[in-house]
Amino acid sequence: MNSLAKDVGERIRELRTNRGWLQSELAEKIGITNQMISNWERSYTKIIDAQDVAKLASVFEVSTDYILLGITPTQKIQEALADDTELLEFFNDLTTREELQILFKQVKPLKKETIKRIIKYIKIVEDEESNE
């Protein structure tokens, strides 16, 4: 199942189990009860406090967009570049480069045009370096 089809609880469970953590370990890391983690994961509690979402994102090293919506930073950037095929192709090539992976771990809540400008700047630098 892809991450967009999952609900918040399923993403929390997946992130927790991928790290090999028990519910009690995650609860301790973010300062809540085991029962609350259980309730989230079983979708008994649909509403999660914004501070808890921020703590989960920090502990799991993902964006709050991923916790809440299943949207990764890469997907967010691709969406912003959807109307510019050249930039989208350039970005998709960048994401395969191991030395640049850190650039795409987090995307602050930026406007699509700002994301587009940033990728254009990276392309300009890449083009200049390849011409040297």
What is the average pLDDT value for the chain, to the nearest integer? 84
**Is the CB of residue 54 less than 8 Å from the CB of residue 109?**
no
CA distance linking residue 21 with residue 37, whole number of Å: 12
Choose between 1 and 27: higher pLDDT.
27
Q: For residues 23 and 46, state if they share a domain.
A: yes
Owning domain of residue 112: 73-131
> Quick check: pTM over 0.75?
no
Based on the fold, state whether residues 50 and 17 are members of the same structural domain.
yes
Q: What's the pLDDT at 36?
A: 93
- Residue 117 inside a domain? The answer is yes
Q: What is the pLDDT of residue 66?
A: 87
**pLDDT digits over 48-86, tens only?**
889 999 999 999 988 888 898 888 878 888 888 999 999
Residue 127 belongs to a domain? yes
64 shares its domain with 80: no
Residue 2: inside a domain? no
Number of other residues whose CB lies within 10 A of the CB of residue 122: 16
Residue 13: per-residue pLDDT: 95
Q: Which of 39, 69, 99 is the last residue of a domain?
A: 69
Indicate whether 103 belongs to any domain.
yes
**So what's the pLDDT on residue 11?**
92
Using alpha carbons, list the distances in angstroms from residue 78 to 3, 57, 85, 93.
Answer: 16, 21, 10, 12
Q: Could you report the per-residue pLDDT of 27-48, keeping only the tens digit for each? A: 999 999 999 999 999 988 877 8
